Amino acid sequence: MALPLFRKGHVPLIGEWIALPLIQLAGSTHPGDASWEEVQYPVAHRLLEKCEAVLRIPGVSKGADEDVRLAKKRGLKVYYSLDEVPDAE
């Protein structure tokens, strides 16, 4: 979805792109350990503070579901299909 979003004029970003290198630097050895917990979801939540909208792609993900919940709480638009996402102005 990243390239089609970019072609619509947006800058696509998912938390993992930032979190995974930080998790490694923090010394994580496996998902769910203390370093992973320190970084993984807080990165996504901080990104949501800077986003204009969220595109929730299909698939089971507790993290993505939590991102949607927080996005709605913050009043952000949540899209469920690439077709719903408008071109950037």
pLDDT digits (tens, 9 = 90+) for 11-22: 999 999 999 999
Percent of the chain with pLDDT over 90: 97
For the CA atoms of 44, 50, 52, 18, the dihedral, rounded to the nearest 10 degrees, stands at: -40
6 is written with which tokens? 């970019």
2 is written with which tokens? 């990243």
pTM score of the predicted model:
0.85
- Output the pLDDT for position 89: 80
Work out the average pLDDT over 30-44: 94
Query: In the predicted model, is pLDDT for residue 72 greater than 90?
Result: yes
Alpha-carbon distance 36 to 44, whole Å? 13
Cβ neighbours, 10 Å, residue 38: 15
- Output the pLDDT for position 60: 96
More confident: 42 or 89: 42
Q: Hey, CA dihedral for 89, 71, 3, 28, is it positive or negative?
A: positive
Q: What is the mean pLDDT of the chain?
A: 94
Burial of residue 62 (CB within 10 Å: 0-12, 13-18, 19+) is exposed
Cα–chain center distance at 76: 13
